[in-house]
Amino acid sequence: MDKYIPVVVIKELCEVDVILPALKANSLNCAEITFRTDCAAAAIKAAAEKYPDMVIGAGTVINENQCRQAIKAGAKFIVSPGLSVPVANLCRKKHIPYYPGCVTPTEIMQALELGITTVKFFPANVYGGLQALKALAAPFPQIRFIPTGGIDRNNIDEFLAFDKVAAIGGSFFVKESLEKFKGTI
């Protein structure tokens, strides 16, 4: 898994060929394309086909139907804002990594019962940030976190310095990459 996971919202399919080259130009070879728009599955499919050297995943997957669509489209990992047992079971069956949102001890225990040891911590800024991650990591030393939400260049290094952080997710990677990419054209 990459240390940086750009969270990408594709509103129109043509944006795939704008955003993904910008990410690549900024040395970001991963993209979590969210299921927040009607073209999400098509965007994942286009990204997986056109950019096979990138790891394309699906984010904001909230049910088994979306998970099936994402996997069929070529998603290599699945991310949810919360924990869904049907999504976890489908991912396990299909051998696709699943990173559910977990912010409480109970949710982390449920993830562990499902065999999941890396979870999304979302929204990190609302649920106590790095201080909360450190508190949760103490009773769950086998858990690693992907904090997302409220992370930016001001605090990213602080999060990455914590050994229980597997990666950082954020839409700010997309904004930065697009600004930088436009500057090189």
Distance CA 55, CA 47 (A): 9
Question: Is 107 considered catalytic here?
Answer: no
**Choice among 15, 24, 50, 120 that is catalytic:** 120
Distance CA 97, CA 101 (A): 13
Question: Is 32 considered catalytic here?
Answer: yes
**CA proximity to 8, closest of 56, 51, 54, 78:** 56
**Choice among 32, 45, 164, 176 that is catalytic:** 32
The residues with which 169 forms a beta bridge, in sequence order, are 5, 148
CB 146 within 8 A of CB 125: no
Active site residues: 32, 120
